[in-house]
Amino acid sequence: MFGPSKKNLTTDGSVISDALERRLEPSGIFPNKEEVVNFLKANSRRVYLGIDPTGPDIHLGHTIPLLFLKQLLDLGHKPVIVIGDFTARIGDPTGKDATRKPLTPEQIKENSKDYLEQIYKILPKGSFEVCHNGDWLDKLSFKDVVQLAGHVTVQQMLHRDMFQERLKSEKPIGLHEFLYPLMQGYDSVAMEIDGEVGGNDQTFNMLVGRDLEKKLINKDKVVFATRLLVDARSGKKMSKSEGNLIAVSDSPKDMFGKTMAGIPDEMIKDVFQLCTNKDMDWISVHIEEMKSEPYKYKKELGREIVSMYHGEKAGAEAVSEFEKVFSNKELPTDISELYGTGKSLIDFISDNNLVESRSEAKRLLEQKAVKVNSEIVTDWGRQLMEGDIVQVGSRKFAKIK
């Protein structure tokens, strides 16, 4: 788990260097590294991270800038979390080849209701400010928006790769999508912020904010662009929409299981570096072993991630449970008991959300990925009896009652 902040470290060059090098893109420090180092040597700078509540989970991708903010907190600076309750209504077009579907205020409220409890797992409660950008964006008049738009050109917007790709493929670009960088940029102006951190896919938006803050209130903002978790096999950013990221609210069992099943071998080193606090010297020493013994080091990565969010005891227990089920082919220690006596197998796994849909249930049965009492079953209509143990895939178990 995360310990208390360490203060008065702003003059420690090695600590500053680690903060700038561990999670940031080498070219993702603006205006330049020298000025940013001086920035970090000053006292109590306010640096913000904006999170649009497009889903209910804070996942490993979010933790990269959050862990960077924790490093800044340890240097004596003040993190600010901005919940994008207004910007989420528009949707950031970054990285999308189609227009995002707007969210309703009700969806946004539901998605964000547990955000702070999840963020507290990294940034201690009371250590950071919390803002909602609807507090200032809702107050802008149409005249204000037009005046704000006068500070950014259409050419600037169209220069973005995502829009170029849409133009080439004749896919629509909504005019409202041009307004998103203006809104994110205005966040900096409204807060008179000192710095902003975000993934490197947010660099354009963050620099718009830097320009607007300079033009409108004559204040210089520094920008920190963090590296992204990119799947080495597909080249895609690992994200919730791709279904391959771990949420900090996941149970120890799910967190460990998703690490083993969802993190490609080629990414073990990157996840250690970006998403954990494992000592960088240890990571450097073991890089080659991670390549030659990925299974061993992926288990260590799973233990590290679980320990960060649930404690070291939970980390050790997750490893033990995984080895029991997957290496020794034994049943899990704790199996949920669900009503299902007399039900067909497909009805049971569909009704109890052991799969996302009935069609997925059929697919898994056809792929021989469903077992009853350790035996593969492909018969959809197999009738279940009290005491049967149903296994769906590699990690889901249920006992019939």
165-211 pLDDT, tens digit each: 888 888 888 888 889 999 999 999 999 999 999 999 999 999 999 99
Query: For 260-276, what is each residue's pLDDT tens digit?
Result: 888 999 999 999 999 99
Coil, strand or helix: which one is 25? strand
pLDDT-derived band at 94 (thresholds 50, 70, 90) equals low
Query: For 283-296, what is each residue's pLDDT tens digit?
Result: 999 999 999 999 99
Query: For 343-383, what is each residue's pLDDT tens digit?
Result: 999 899 888 888 888 888 888 888 888 888 888 888 888 89
- Give the model's pLDDT for residue 7: 45
- Give the model's pLDDT for residue 244: 56
DSSP state letter for 338: E
- Give the model's pLDDT for residue 100: 65
Structure tokens, 184: 């994110």
* Cβ proximity of 69 and 128 under 8 Å: yes
Distance in angstroms (rounded) separating the CA atoms of residues 78 and 54: 25
Our CA angle for 89, 95, 96, nearest 5°, is: 60
Helix or strand (DSSP H, E) at 86: none
Distance in angstroms (rounded) separating the CA atoms of residues 276 and 119: 15
Q: For the beta carbon of residue 235, count every other beta carbon within 10 angstroms.
A: 7
User: Domain 13-228 classified CATH 3.40.50.620?
Assistant: yes
Domain at 252-327, CATH class: mainly alpha
Q: Which CATH superfamily is domain 336-400 in?
A: RNA-binding S4 domain (3.10.290.10)
Q: Note whether 252-327 and 336-400 share their fold.
A: no
Q: For the beta carbon of residue 359, count every other beta carbon within 10 angstroms.
A: 10
Task: List the domain boundaries for the chain.
Answer: 13-228, 252-327, 336-400
317: CB partners within 8 A, 6+ apart: 252
Distance in angstroms (rounded) separating the CA atoms of residues 295 and 293: 6
